[in-house]
A and B are shown apart, each in its own frame.
Chain A
C-alpha cells in the first residue's frame, strides 16, 4: 500500500503567499476589535469606501445590539468645498463632536491607507461638551500594513494605555487589572466574569478589565493596581510590559486554563497582593471541591479509556498552551501535536509547547496546518473553525475552542478558571464518548495507486493537502477500494 507523501512545506517566494484562507484578519481588524470593547473611545477607520465592514462583522459576531463606536473616513477624492466625509481632519473632529460619549478618538488606518502613506493630521479635538475635558487623539504608530490581527491589537492596546495611564497611588486594598481577550473571541466576556469571580473569592478587587468592558477612566487609573493578570498574552503583552516598566506593576502570565493553571495564577496573585497563603489555599480547596470538575473527571475516568488516546490542538497562543498543559498533565491525554497560526509568537510558542508535546509547529497556512494535523492522526482535534474539515476527514470528534470560532454563543461559557475547567471536562467527556461509539472511519486508509500518487505530486504544494482530502473523501463516498488516477481526477474541481 502506498500512503500519501508526508507534508513538504511550501516555500513561497520572498514574502508573497498564496493561500486558500487565513486565520488572522488584517491589523486594522485587530485594532478595531480591541478598541471597540473600550467605552468612551471612538475609532475612526481611514479606509477606502470599499473597505468598510466592521459594523457588519461586529453585529454578526457579537449579536448584542449596540452598533460599534466606529466611523469610516473614506479615502477618496471629494470635490473641493464638499462637506461629505473624506477629509480626515474634519472626520476626526466630527467623531468627537457628534458622539457625546467620546472621550478619546482612535485613528485606525486600513492596510491600503497605510500603504498610501498619507500624512496623518493631528487636529486639536474639541473638548468634551459636558465635562470640558480634553479629547485625546491616539494613533497606533507601529502598525504597518504587513502585520496580523493580534499583533496590531497588542500594539494598539499599548498605544492606548500609554496615552492614558498616569502615575497614581497604589490602592489601599489589593487590586489587580485583568488583561483578557478582545471582542469576537469565543467566550471572551465569560472569561472575564470567571476571573473576576475568582479574584473576589480570594479577596482581591478588580481595578479594571482591559480591553473588554474598560472605559477611559479605567485606562487612566491602571497604575493603582498591585498586579496585572494577563489572561490573553496575544493582546495584553505590550501594554502590561509598558505598565511594568513605567510603574513597576508586576505581571502574572501563566495561562489560567485547567485546575492546575488556575491554582498557580491565584497563588501568584496572592503572593503579589501580600495575602494570607492559607486563606488562598482554602479558597482553592473549596473551589476544587465544588466548582472545578476537571480533576474529578480525571479520577473518574477509567485509565484504559484514555490509553493510546491522542489529542491535537491548533489555535492561538494562550488557548493552545493552556489546553495543552491541561490535557497532558491533568487529564493524561497524549498531545500528538500542537500548532499555532501566530507566526510572530513562534519562539514563545515553541518554547512552551516543548513541555507537553514533541510535535509543535507554527504556520499561518490552513493547508499546511491541515496536513500536519492529519499526519499526527489524533483521536480528538481541538482547533479553530477552519479545522472542522480536517476532523471530518479523519472522522474524529472536533472541539472548536480557539479563535476564530464563529459567532458568539448566546450562553457564553468560560474555558479559563475553575468553571472553565469543568466546561472542558464536559466537552472532553462528550468528545471521547463520541469517539468510542463510532469507530474511527478515517478515509486515510484507502490506498493510492502509483499513478494517482504521481497525479497528486503534479498539483502545487499549497493545494496538495486539499486535493488529497477531496480524493479520499470522494473514494469513501463512492466506495472505491483504492484511489486511482481516475478517482483523483473526478474528485477534483
Chain B
C-alpha cells in the first residue's frame, strides 16, 4: 500500500454544486446562496450546463442573493431579503443560508442576518459556508456541514429506564409476541436506537431494508423526510454514516454522546456486510450477515465475471472512490490508482485497510499528472472527475463519471448489484461500439 500525496490541484466540483440536491433532500427547507455572481454561477448555471437534462439540478427552492461590491448591504438588509424570499414559498420550515468568504469580505455578518430573519419569520435558520481554507475540497463538503447542523438540531435522546421486555409488552398483540419470540437473542441485547446519517442518493430506504432483514431497526435518518422530522440523538444512540466524508457530522453526533460506528461504507457486498455486522456488534447482537451476503454474492456471479480482471483507474472527485475501489477490487477488478482529493485517515481507516496492499492511493492528485499516468497505463475503465471526462474520452479511454455512479444509488446490497450492472453495461456497450465497422 502506497499513499502518495501529490499536493496538486485536484479536479473537483465546487461544494456549491450540491445546493440543488440539498434543497431537494430537505423537503421543507429553502436554500439561499449569498455572494457574488460566481456563487450563483456555481450553484445554478454550472449544474445545468453539466447535466442539461436533469431536473433535480435546478431546484426551485434555491434562490441567490447577489451582492453588489460597489454598494455592500447595510446591516439588516440581507435579513429583509431573506424574509421576503421565504415568504414566497409555502411550507418553509427551515432556512439554509449558504454564505462564504465573498459575503464575509463584503462585510456581511450572515449569522446575524440569519438570526434576525429567523426571529421575524419564527423558523429555524442555519448558516453554512461552502468555502474551504485548506486543500482538498469535495463537492460533499456542504452536505457535511448542513447535516451536522441538522444533527445539532436533533432532539436529545434519553434512554428509557424500562427494560426492553416491558416496551415490547406494551406493543403487545399476538403478532408482536410472535416476532418477539423469533428474535429472542436480540432481546437479550441492548435495544439502542440506530440512526443513519448521510445523503442517501436515492437508495436510503434500501439500506434501511438491508438492516431490517438483519434484525436491526433504523430509528431515524438524517436527512429524513423533513427537518421537523428529526430523530433523537444522544447517549445510547448508535450512529452509522453513509458517506466517508462526513467528519463534521460524526463530530456533531459524538458531541451529543452518540456512538459512531467506524466501519466500511455500506457500499458493495463486502462493505454492506461489514457495515451491518459492525452495527450488530455495537448493539451487542450476533450477526448472520457473512453467510447471507455470501449467498447474495454467489448470485451475482454473472456480473462479477464481467468485471474480473478489468484494470480500473479512479481519478477521484466525490470522496467515494476509496470505497468504490475497495468493492471493485473485491469483485475481482485490478485497481491501478485511487485518487483522493482529501484523505481523512480516521474515517477511511477501515477502507484503506480493506483496499489491500497492492493499490496506490494518490492524495490531492494533480489532474494533469493523472492524465499522463492514465495515458501510460491505459486502463480498461477510468472513473473520472467532471473536468477529465471529455478529454479522456477523446484520448480513447473508456470512462464513467463518478457522479453518474453515485446517482444510480450505490448503498446496500441492491446498490452493489446496480454498481456491477452499471460497469457490465459500460463494458458491453464499449464492446458493441468497438465492433461497429466504421
Contacts and interface: CB of A to CB of B under 8 A. Distances in A.
B81 interface: yes
A26 B36 contact: yes
Interface residues of A, number: 73
A72 interface: yes
A57 B8 contact: no
A437 B100 CA distance: 51
B105 interface: yes
A84 B136 CA distance: 12
B38 A16 contact: no
Contacts of B12: 52
Contacts of B81: 13, 16, 18
A55 B390 CA distance: 10
Contacts of A26: 36-38, 41
Contacts of A60: 49-50, 386, 390
A243 B364 CA distance: 44
A15 B71 contact: yes
Return the 4 tightest CB-CB contacts between A and B, nearest first: A65-B394, A15-B68, A55-B387, A84-B7
Contacts of B77: 13-14, 16
B91 to A, nearest CB: 7
Interface in B341-395: 364, 367-368, 371, 385-391, 393-395
A50 B35 CA distance: 14
24 contacts: A14-B77, A15-B72, A16-B68, A18-B63, A18-B84, A19-B63, A19-B65, A20-B44, A25-B45, A54-B387, A56-B386, A57-B46, A60-B386, A65-B390, A65-B393, A67-B371, A111-B36, A115-B69, A115-B105, A115-B106, A116-B101, A145-B69, A145-B102, A385-B48
Contacts of B116: none
A493 B93 CA distance: 13
A433 interface: no
Given A66-B394, A145-B102, A55 B11 contact: yes
A29 B41 CA distance: 9
B364 A112 contact: no
A66 B73 contact: no
B160 interface: no
Given A49-B132, A115-B36, A72 B63 contact: no
B61 A19 contact: no
A61 B105 contact: no
B123 interface: no
A471 to B, nearest CB: 12
B9 A72 contact: yes
Contacts of B389: 59
Contacts of B387: 53-56, 58-59, 67
Given A53-B46, A84-B135, 20 more contacts: A15-B67, A19-B65, A21-B40, A22-B41, A22-B45, A48-B131, A49-B9, A49-B137, A52-B12, A55-B387, A55-B388, A60-B386, A67-B368, A76-B132, A83-B7, A98-B368, A111-B102, A144-B70, A385-B48, A463-B85
A182 interface: no
A148 interface: yes
Contact of B63 (A20, A57, A71, A110): A20
Contacts of A115: 36, 69, 101-102, 105-106
Interface of A: 13-22, 24-29, 48-67, 71-72, 74, 76-78, 82-86, 98, 110-112, 114-116, 144-146, 148-149, 385, 404, 406-407, 458-460, 462-463, 466-467, 489, 492-493
Contacts of B132: 48-50, 76
Interface string B1-34: 0000001110111111000000000000000000
Given A15-B71, A16-B77, A493 B61 contact: yes
Q: Which of A49, A52, A145 has the most CB of B within 10 A?
A: A49
A148 to B, nearest CB: 7
Contacts of A64: 390, 394
B386 A22 contact: no
Contact of A493 (B60, B133, B134): B60
B87 A76 contact: no
B14 to A, nearest CB: 5
Nearest to A99: B368
B78 interface: yes
B182 to A, nearest CB: 44
B85 A492 contact: no
A55 to B, nearest CB: 3
Given A53-B46, A459-B88, A76 B36 contact: no
Nearest to A470: B60
Nearest to B52: A406
Nearest to A66: B391
Given A14-B71, A15-B73, A26-B37, A460 B85 contact: yes
A444 to B, nearest CB: 20
Nearest to A148: B37
Nearest to A149: B37
Contacts of A66: 391, 394
A115 B36 CA distance: 10
Name the interface size band of chain B: 35 or more
Interface of B: 7-9, 11-16, 35-38, 40-42, 44-46, 48-50, 52, 58, 60-74, 77-78, 80-81, 84-85, 87-91, 100-102, 105-106, 130-137, 141, 364, 367-368, 371, 385-391, 393-395
A460 B88 contact: yes
A491 to B, nearest CB: 10
A399 to B, nearest CB: 17
A13 B61 contact: no
A50 B10 CA distance: 11
Contacts of A493: 60-61, 89-91
Contacts of A460: 84-85, 87-88
Contacts of B88: 459-460, 462-463, 467
Nearest to A152: B37
B11 A56 contact: yes
A32 B15 CA distance: 21
B64 A18 contact: yes
A93 B37 CA distance: 29
B80 A13 contact: yes
Given A55-B367, A77-B134, A144-B69, A20 B64 contact: yes
A112 B102 contact: yes
A407 B46 CA distance: 11
Contacts of B133: 76-77
Contacts of A86: 135
A50 B141 contact: yes
A116 B105 contact: yes
Contacts of A15: 67-68, 70-73
A419 B131 CA distance: 47
Contacts of B44: 20-22
A61 B393 contact: no
A71 B368 CA distance: 10
Contact of A82 (B7, B66, B73, B106): B7
Contacts of B371: 67
Contacts of A51: 14, 38, 42
A493 B72 CA distance: 31
B376 to A, nearest CB: 17
A488 B62 CA distance: 20
A18 B65 contact: yes
Given A18-B84, A65-B393, A74-B135, A52 B9 contact: yes
B134 A112 contact: no
A85 B7 contact: yes
B391 A65 contact: yes
A67 B390 CA distance: 8
A71 B37 contact: no
A459 B63 CA distance: 15
B103 to A, nearest CB: 9
Nearest to B84: A460
B373 to A, nearest CB: 15
A50 B44 CA distance: 15
A366 to B, nearest CB: 10
A93 to B, nearest CB: 15
Given A13-B80, A19-B64, A115-B102, A52 B14 contact: yes
